[in-house]
Structure 1
């Protein structure tokens, strides 16, 4: 067996062993932590923190270990589906009722809300119906009324499709019940017997909040995870912690820290901390007394009330929303989705491992490696797909929000650049040859303009920073966004240049070559769209690169005999530019193409996203084509009037080289000064980007090739990354990051330690 064959077998065995080890580690994490909180409801209801301030000054509440989302009114109405929500308690619970009513009303029932608000009697029941839900508020500050008990008796934890009760009873059973612990009224009006009053109220409702309810909810979540069914829930809010300094004198004498703490302690003894129906996190939210608490010291601000309600809605609706769409971002209170493709991939991987193990000895005897090499390639792809699903598709690994911290982002980028520079190497043709001061060996022409090592180096440098850009959530910072957009355009420039050079040099327009290129570009993106349930355009780099390759190929293929005539080639470039602009920007064309692709391949395309991505870089590929044609024609003629091609000696005079360097440096500096100073809106920059992105890209590449010494050396580390930059870009969505590259993956092993 040759060294290459042995290497391939060992690499595949290493990948399979690594996958097994990661799965064992994930199972250990799940065993230690997941059994306590399999759906990450406890972490939603018990732990959290405010995010760091965003550049715009905003902040978000983030549970520890899972992602909470803000349900829009439409998605919330889809979850509620015309069912009943009941709020029972005092004025603090009534505040949650009004917050819910405003959210689901969607601005269509303001008159009805105002009429109810104008009622003089505050201590009465309220009923409010919208076009998507029925909301009831039961005034019961002691939590002991017959109305409350009747509602609790009729409550069903299972959704209507799983309940064994009659349809009539299901219609009466609320989807959500929010109970307010009667702490404030017991402390205010209960006198010295406040604790006994509180205990009796809790004892009266405890049969409806038994641990069996938590078990039923878990069972229902698991059963309905793929059907979109919503599991009904009861929540008992703890006794709130008021701002004691702002309490009125008649309240501050009875509502004291000791009494509040004692009542909450009783709650924690009756109901364990593992109960998923007490949102203890309500008392853990850090609040500014001046902004987040009302002047009476008891009620919170509208924004905090909305946050408390959003926590409840995340516990209620996330699992069903996740079942409807795998692109749903929330991971709190979400049951693990079922994926038949994942099961099939695991079974197929087992067959591949069995085949390669059994065929290895036969390979050593016969020397026929095609079958086993194909099996090894399939095995490696399956390993990647399985790990992507384990890392991002299910709850083995946690997902947390990203936050931009400029110092950390810049530091990691500098470290990457320094490590890249330290990996400086001489081009392979020069290794072992004469020193640069001596004459080159006969026939040596140097690495040439934008050689393979150099293009891989540039792609690797850009890809390393792009990975850090996404990991550190630097996309929300405009000055970084502008630079990254240039990196993306630079990739398409290099791609257009390389494909054009190949086609002009080899005249290889064969179908086999096209299939190989398209297979390489799209393999991971297409397979992941099936495995992860995402759209093809989620990994937008692949479809955009595919589009521009097909455009480039078609342009050079038609009248290919005319490609040697620069005038004809420039005419074809201008004509193709006009046609692609029409194809991209005209409504209806991309939509039709997306429908055709979905019909034949069953993959979804976000047309608006595709149009935006294609429009951003709709000219830079043609710049790469033109430069490649100029270089090729200069090389063919053996006259070097356009660019120094690395044929051994300098072709530009020292004076011309200085002028070229000055122009390139000046263009790059002017570009960044103008774009970073005057274009302070992303939309304005995006409109100009297609027209001006070629300026710094050409300037940098001309500088990179302006001297023989620059072309003879390259950076090894970025060069290695650049050889599989497309794969790393796609895989970052599920391995480097999570939630389709919108969150960071965390192991969670040290969570809570």
Structure 2
């Protein structure tokens, strides 16, 4: 009874919550979230630059996440390029001097701090006409105001960027009196108009005061309390806010360092000066505020404006709108035909059929699929090209990778079913294999686990396993079917490339950016060419003469030699793939480096997959294998030996990967040893009869849309072309991941359906 109740309950749930209803829910969520973010931007008026400067949180030690946008970590060469021909002035007390040195350290790492105090300090890169000065003005008084006025005079070296702030000296020298606070506000108000004048030709930042650790302060600094600092911060904000009125040139407030220091001030050496890691955050925030709009780093969304759509993107919009109009027209015409009375035939008195027939079903299917694709592409654009949804950077911890991994494997084991067939690597099993691998890769990407080398090396094996399946699957088809027709080729190429080609246009990215699709497409052509060229060797011909088996092995050997030569001759490799029109497919940012790196990593694994398929099909034909339900593939002795070998290989590879210290060295070994891990998995999964008799329907479902999941993640789950994480629900990371994942999976499934519909047309 309990089992029957469970079965009926499960059936009832499936009737009400299926993939169709899930897609409707995801569509409603997208609309609601789009309206929410658009309204928040319109009413709140805040932009990503204000978010960068004002608020954020720590992801880990010295890793700062601004609210709603991504902060790029600038290297020296980038900073110099951005600040070339510029003059930057830091004006203030010892805290501003700290910020100055951290800023200089980005431009010129290793620059030693001068022991001089209470004096001006200059830094310059004459070759770049780059000047950064620290000007000692510890109080917001007439002296600071005169400094600002002097920059307005003709012939003076006016700074392009001014960063200033002061308060602690005023509190210290005057004992924190209320009169000094009022005078401070008057002084800042008097300086505001001069600061705004400087802001008309450059950028001006007022640094809000960071907190202090009152317990560590020296006796002569005890009057500098956090209460006093908050009063001075409020006075400065009121003075600067009151003076700007309707003037669009305004002084920007740097409050991020203050917020960061609230969590780290207990690490201060003297209670007054903030720790080095925190002041480095402040300097990097400034660098992002100054340079992101010029350098436009893909992983620095703060302070960036949205680029205008190019011609191809505009044409794509017109195309999808046109498809929508066609569907609307077909729907209107269909309604008219349905309601229009048709007079009977005069002679026969029978009802005449309409003269104009309805459009063929294939035409309607075509335009409906394209309309749905247009709606989905609009969502892609909103997520990763428009300034609507927020983005945050990744940060790796072991828990962010391994905890979700445990969850999905528990679900995968729970949802298991009996296989319809029990052959080695049957369709259900390969779908399961692709499914769990894809889920691991997704978790790997969103958690930023590439920073952890053991995980990185294991994921490299998963990518190799996909290519192994490419070799295995396509070889098996051509060997068994002998179908080398153009129809088959076009079907495969369309299914592999349709989504990527649309994204290349809509998202303005090169084909090579979606590196996995170029890889599998390239290897499909290689497999096709290898088996299609004379002499064509397929199973029927091989059955007639066993000598044809050596022909297959000879072809694979020749291919291996050619691949080895191509891998070890960089000049030859470049001459092939940098040659037009191949360069348009394989170059990324004007270079084939990325393609060479990806291709060389797994250059032999497709051949291994083809060889494995050949050996398996020959053994199967000769009835060497036992593939009955519940039967082991081989005799007990051989099966046990192979299982022992596979388990040993698994453990040894994991030990080797865990001991990897350098990605470069480990990647050099990867093409030769990844196949051992793959074969070990195949044997463990297939030798026992009971293992072949069941599969995980949970993983298999994801396996059927694995390609769409891999490509869609670039823009609607991750963000900034995979460099960050899409934020649909700000402030609640766990809920955001759940909602964005739900929408992402629904979109990937719908694209899979659309691709299949169009492939049939």
Q: Structure 1 length as normaliser, TM-score?
A: 0.80
Displacement of 1:330 = 0.8
Displacement of 1:712 in angstroms is: 4.4
Q: Is 1:506 aligned to residue 506 of structure 2?
A: no
The aligned residue for residue 620 of structure 1 is 605
Note if 1:134 corresponds to 2:131: yes
TM-aligned CA deviation for residue 97 of structure 1? 3.2
Structure 1 equivalent of residue 697 of structure 2: 716
Match of 2:395 in 1: 403
**Does residue 232 of structure 1 match 2:202?**
yes
SS state at 1:137 partner: strand
Deviates more, 1:690-699 or 1:88-97: 88-97
> Does residue 1:544 correspond to 2:519, yes or no?
yes
The change in CA–CA distance for 1:502 and 1:41 in structure 2 (over 3 A counts) is same
Residue 309 (structure 1) aligns with: 283
Matches within 5 A, 1:324-335: 328-335=298-305
- How far apart are residue 624 of structure 1 and its match? 1.0
Matched, 1:32 2:54: no
Greater Cα shift, 30-39 or 310-319: 30-39
Any residues of structure 2 matched to 1:240-251 within 5 Å, and which? 240-251=210-221
Aligned residue among 60, 66, 89 for 1:52? 60
Q: Return closer, same or farther for 1:654/1:232 CA change in 2, 3 Å cut-off.
A: same
Q: 1:16-38, CA deviations, whole angstroms, 9 ceiling, x for partnerless residues?
A: 99658624531322322465354
Distance 1:662 1:506, change over 3 A: same
Matched, 1:586 2:569: yes
Matched, 1:608 2:600: no
Equivalent in 73, 78, 88 of residue 75 of structure 1: 78
2:264–2:275 CA contact under 8 A, matched in 1: no
Distance 1:309 1:632, change over 3 A: same
1:717-743 CA-partner distances (Å, limit 9, x unpaired)? 222221221111011111121122232
- Distance (Å, rounded) in 1 between the aligned partners of 2:65 and 2:563: 44
Q: Which residue of 1 aligns with 2:382?
A: 390
Which residue number in structure 2 is paired with residue 318 of structure 1?
292
CA distance in 1, matches of 2:406, 2:374: 35
Among candidates 689, 693, 698, match of residue 679 of structure 2: 698
- 3-state DSSP of counterpart to 1:577: helix
1:610 Cα deviation from its structure 2 partner: 1.9
Question: What does residue 744 of structure 1 align with?
Answer: 725
1: CA distance between counterparts of 2:692 and 2:606?
23
* 1:486 Cα deviation from its structure 2 partner: 2.0
C-alpha deviations, 1:669-698, integer Å up to 9, x for none? Answer: 4443x4256545434432222212222322
- 2:122, 2:131 within 8 Å by CA — same for their partners in 1? no
Displacement after TM superposition at 1:463 (Å): 0.9
Could you tell me which residue of structure 1 aligns to residue 247 of structure 2? Answer: none
How much does 1:209 deviate? 5.3
**Does structure 1 residue 685 correspond to structure 2 residue 684?**
no
Partner residue, 2:9: none
1:78-89 → structure 2 map (5 Å cutoff): 78-89=81-92
Q: Deviations over 1:497-538 (max 9, x none)?
A: 010011112222234433332332233233323433444333
Q: Distance between the aligned counterparts of 1:190 and 1:654, measured in 2?
A: 89
Name 1:97's counterpart in structure 2. Answer: 100
Q: What are the Cα deviations for residues 585-615 of structure 1, in whole angstroms up to 9, with x where unaligned?
A: 4223443414524765697365222222222
The answer as to whether partners of 2:261 and 2:278 remain within 8 angstroms in 1 is no
1:454 Cα deviation from its structure 2 partner: 1.9
Q: 1:630 aligns with which of 615, 639, 653?
A: 615
Counterpart of 1:434 in structure 2 is none
Partner of 1:204: 190
Q: Is the 8 A contact 2:418 2:693 kept in 1?
A: yes
Contact preservation (8 Å) 2:213, 2:265: no
Name the structure 2 match of 1:220.
none
Deviations 1:208-242 (A, max 9, x none): 456x999x8xxxxxxxxxxxxxx831101123434
Task: Provide the rounded CA distance (Å) in 1 between the counterparts of 2:456 and 2:438.
Answer: 14
1:166-245 equivalences in 2 (<5 Å): 173-185=158-170, 187-189=172-174, 192=177, 193-208=179-194, 232-245=202-215
Please identify, of 77-86 and 375-384, the stretch whose mean Cα deviation from structure 2 is larger: 375-384
Q: Does the CA contact (< 8 Å) of 1:292 and 1:303 recur in 2? A: no
**Corresponding residue for 1:4?**
none
Relative to structure 1, is the Cα distance of residues 293 and 533 closer, same or farther in structure 2, using a 3 angstrom cutoff? farther
Aligned equivalents of 1:152, 1:644: Cα separation in 2: 88
Secondary structure of residue in 2 paired with 1:131: helix
Kept in 1: contact 2:188–2:240 (CA 8 A): no
Question: In the alignment, is the contact (CA less than 8 A) between 2:510 and 2:585 conserved in 1?
Answer: no
Which of 445, 448, 457 matches 1:473? 448
* 1:557-580 CA distance string (max 9 Å, x none): 233335632222222212211211
Unpaired runs of 5+ residues, structure 2, are 1-17, 245-249, 339-356, 543-547, 736-761
* SS state at 2:135 partner: strand
Tell me the distance in 1 between the aligned counterparts of 2:398 and 2:190: 54
CA distance in 2, matches of 1:660, 1:743: 43
Cα distance, 1:496 vs. partner?
0.5
Residues 633 and 686 of structure 2 are in contact (CA less than 8 Å); yes or no, is this contact kept in structure 1?
A: no
Written as runs of structure 1 = structure 2, the 5 A alignment for 1:718-733 is 718-733=699-714
Name the counterpart of 1:338: 308
1:82 deviates by: 0.7
8 Å CA contact retained: 1:331, 1:399: yes
- Residue 189 of structure 1: CA displacement? 4.8
Match of 2:533 in 1: 558
Aligned to 1:351, which of 322, 330, 335? 322
Which segment is superposed worse, 596-605 or 175-184? 596-605
Q: What secondary structure does 1:299 align onto?
A: coil
Is the CA contact (8 Å cut-off) linking 2:298 and 2:723 kept in structure 1? Answer: no
Does residue 443 of structure 2 align to residue 455 of structure 1?
no
Instruction: Give the 3-state SS of the residue equivalent to 1:285 in structure 2.
Output: helix
Q: Does the residue aligned with 2:536 lie in a helix, a strand or coil?
A: helix
Inter-partner Cα distance in structure 1 for 2:698 and 2:609: 25
Does 2:650 correspond to 1:668? yes
- Deviation of 1:702 (Å): 2.8
Query: For the Cα contact (< 8 Å) 2:467–2:520, is it kept in 1?
Result: yes
CA RMSD of aligned residues (A): 3.8
| Matches of 1:349 and 1:213, distance apart in 2 | 48
Residue 626 of structure 1: how far off its partner (Å): 0.9
Indicate the SS of the match to 2:164: strand
Distance 2:584 2:406 in 1: 46
| 1:265 maps to 2:234 | yes
Flag the 1:695–1:33 CA change in 2: closer, same or farther, 3 A: same
Provide, for residues 542-567 of structure 1, a one-character-per-residue CA deviation record: whole Å limited to 9, x for no partner: 12212222222222223333563222
CA distance in structure 2 between the aligned counterparts of 1:533 and 1:276, rounded to whole angstroms: 35
- Aligned residue in 2 for 1:161: none
